[in-house]
Amino acid sequence: MKSLSLKRLLVTSALLLWSLTSLASSQFTGPSRDANGNVVPTPKGEQCVEPTADMRANHMKYLLHKRDLTMYDGIRTKQHSIVACIDCHATPNEDGKIVRIHDDSNQHFCASCHAVASVKLDCFECHADRPVEAFSDADYDPVQQLDEALAHSDKPHALMNRKVQ
């Protein structure tokens, strides 16, 4: 328990330090940038669902709580839902492109902080890392996807072995 709280204290202070430095640097540049100079996407809304400091420290607890409410009880309000977080925070970068969590630039809202804090997050192994509107019709259409995959590949794709009913 002791080592756990010590670890938490360290992480919190690291986050605090980081947020202070990022705050300081953002005063001198246009778009907000983190300690490494990476652009942090500006969220769509004006105010987060909780105060920023609270979210920095506790967002994972809110998400964990909401995930159980959604899965077991079917409560699908936007408050603290990972889909709603992404809808607001995963905004396009300076070039107008929707950034993805695994992009090397670490411009994804979650990645921009987690990379600096060196905390691995695996939410997006399963969950969508971009907002609902960033999905095209092709994302919902397996056949179209297959065609696109084949069009952009010069070697035989694994999907070519599919059996058509």
**Piece in contact with another protein (CB under 8 A), picked from 24-32, 33-41, 109-117, 138-146:** 138-146
Residue 9 or 24 having the CB closest to another protein: 9
Which of 21, 58, 93, 105 touches another protein (CB under 8 A)?
58
Q: According to CB under 8 A, which one of 3, 72, 118, 155 is a site residue for another protein?
A: 72
DSSP per residue over the chain, as a string?
-HHHHHHHHHHHHHHHHHHHHHHHHHTTSSS-B-TTSPBPPPPSSSS-SS-HHHHHHHHHHHHHHHHHHHHHH----STT-HHHHHHHH--B-TTSPBP-TT-TT--SHHHHHHHHHT----GGGTS-SS-GGG--GGGG-HHHHHHHHHHT-SS--GGGGPPP-
Q: Interface with another protein by CB under 8 A: which residues?
A: 8-9, 12, 54, 57-58, 61-62, 64-65, 67-68, 71-77, 83, 86, 125-128, 131-132, 135, 139-143, 145-146, 158-159, 161-163, 165
